[in-house]
Amino acid sequence: MTNALIVIDVQNDFCPGGALAVTGGDEIVAGINARMGDFATVVLTQDWHPRGHSSFASSHPGKAPFETAEMPYGTQALWPDHCVQGSDGAAFHAGLNTDPAALILRKGMNPAIDSYSAFFENDQSTATGLDGWLKTRGVDRLTFVGLATDFCVAWSALDAARLGFTVTVERGLCRAIDLEGSLTAAKAQMQAAGIALV
């Protein structure tokens, strides 16, 4: 059994100057590159939304970014338009070393359902297939880094723990959005799930 590094959404739109910029998002790139060689498998995820995606505030008349909307699958935070398929904002940060990646997993492609987690869409039931891909290859230990700590990293790490992986989040190689206490809540949930926050 082996380990994998899962690099979440290190894309231009989540870095300074991007549409949904995470403070210090670009500071983690060199450190992530330096960690890649320590893992048998490297996976990169890429938030990859169609134009007009239902997680965009612009798709909800009268709503502004960072408000919420009720969706059939629950409450959804609304975001500025970001990571539109094929846009510069959706591209990986230019400094990220993509060469070691065995898999680039794109998510958030369903117009009707957002997907923070690399394992399940936000309905918590539509699988991306990553669980099977990793387990088929004998991966049992996952280390998460990337953006954003309190959304895509946390949701991915929590799903991974639920799916039986041994999970570590390297906080120094993550940065958070921190929307209304989301970082504190995410940390508590990850700790309660037995995830190592190092």
Contacts of ligand VGL in 92-151 (CB under 6 A): 116, 147-148, 151
Residue 190's SS3 state is helix
Q: How far apart are CA 66 and CA 145, in angstroms?
A: 23
DSSP 8-class letter at 78: -
**Nearest 5°: phi and psi at 43?**
-120, 135
- Min dist. Cβ of residue 125 to ligand VGL (A): 19
Enumerate the H helices of 91-192 as residue ranges: 130-136, 154-162, 182-192
151's contact among Zn ion, ligand VGL, none, with CB below 5 to 8 A by partner kind, is ligand VGL
**CB 148, min distance to ligand VGL, A:** 4
Nearer to ligand VGL, 25 or 36 (CB): 25
Nearest residue to Zn ion, by Cβ distance, number only: 47
Residues 141 and 165 sit within 8 Å (Cβ to Cβ): yes
Contact with ligand VGL (CB under 6 A) among 152, 157, 160, 161 = 152
Binder of residue 26, out of ligand VGL, Zn ion, none (CB less than 5 to 8 A by kind): none
Which residue in 19, 25, 47, 168 binds ligand VGL (CB under 6 A)? Answer: 47
Q: H/E element holding 30?
A: helix 29-35
Whether 159 is catalytic is: no
Q: Rounded to an integer, what distance in angstroms lies between the CA atom of residue 97 and that of residue 73?
A: 35
For the question of residue 26 being annotated catalytic, the response is no
Residues with Cβ within 8 Å of 57's Cβ and at least 6 positions away in sequence, in order, are 63, 64, 65, 66, 67, 78, 79, 80
Among 39, 79, 92, 119, binds ligand VGL (CB under 6 A): 79
Query: Catalytic site residue 81?
Result: no
| Residue 157 lies near ligand VGL (rule: CB under 6 A) | no
**Which residues are annotated as catalytic?**
9, 107, 152
- Give the interface with ligand VGL as residue ranges (CB under 6 A): 9, 14, 47, 79, 116, 147-148, 151-152
